[in-house]
Structure 1
């Protein structure tokens, strides 16, 4: 269940969006947004946080304009929320909130 895409911005940087299984949960999926200088650096940022098996193959699900705006206005440039239902009204969360979740859900 790994899907994603990217969008190159006018300044040369990129926003990468990935839909991945949530850490510690095989059933739940999350949408992760990363703002970086290029695609390789975006994926490296995620790998450095412990999401080792992260790859971007193709551009099937590029970030929407709303997603781009959200990640550009966040100081870390790294956000997530539950997927695949963006209409549920859930706000974006800093990546630290996702990585704090333990496998037991507590």
Structure 2
């Protein structure tokens, strides 16, 4: 079950954080999206191929560090697999969605 939340920024935009299943053999990934509104953030993810993405509630809003990370990324969409490891870097969403290379 995916969890997530959002934070509204002073300029009116939002940062949405969603925890998604990573697939077989993995636990979850945390995805961050910066957009003008919550629906637009979810639309950005759906346009990337993550069709079944929904935000229900605000149980896991982004932390201040997560907000800073996504605001400083040019695309405004990041992910990280090790949710409890602050030393792992955030990755561009393209790395998650690209096919694995052998």
User: Which TM bucket (shorter chain)?
Assistant: over 0.9
2:66 alignment partner in structure 1: 67
1:92 aligns with 2:90: yes
1:32 alignment partner in structure 2: 31
Aligned-residue Cα RMSD (Å) equals 1.4
CA separation in 2, counterparts of 1:30 and 1:48? 18
CA separation in 2, counterparts of 1:50 and 1:84? 22
Give the drift of 1:28.
Answer: 2.6
TM-score of the superposed pair, with normalisation by structure 1:
0.89
Cα deviations by residue, 1:61-101 (Å, 9 ceiling, x for unpaired): 000000000000000000000143233x1100000000014
1:82 aligns with 2:84: no
Q: Is 1:19–1:83's contact at 8 Å kept on the other side of the alignment?
A: no
TM-score of the superposed pair, with normalisation by structure 2:
0.92
Q: Is 2:82–2:88's contact at 8 Å kept on the other side of the alignment?
A: no
Count of paired positions: 101
Q: Is 1:4–1:18's contact at 8 Å kept on the other side of the alignment?
A: yes
SS in 2 for 1:70: helix
1:16 alignment partner in structure 2: 16
CA separation in 2, counterparts of 1:60 and 1:91? 23
* 5+ long unaligned stretches in structure 2: none
- Give 4+ residue runs of structure 1 displaced > 2 Å after superposition: none
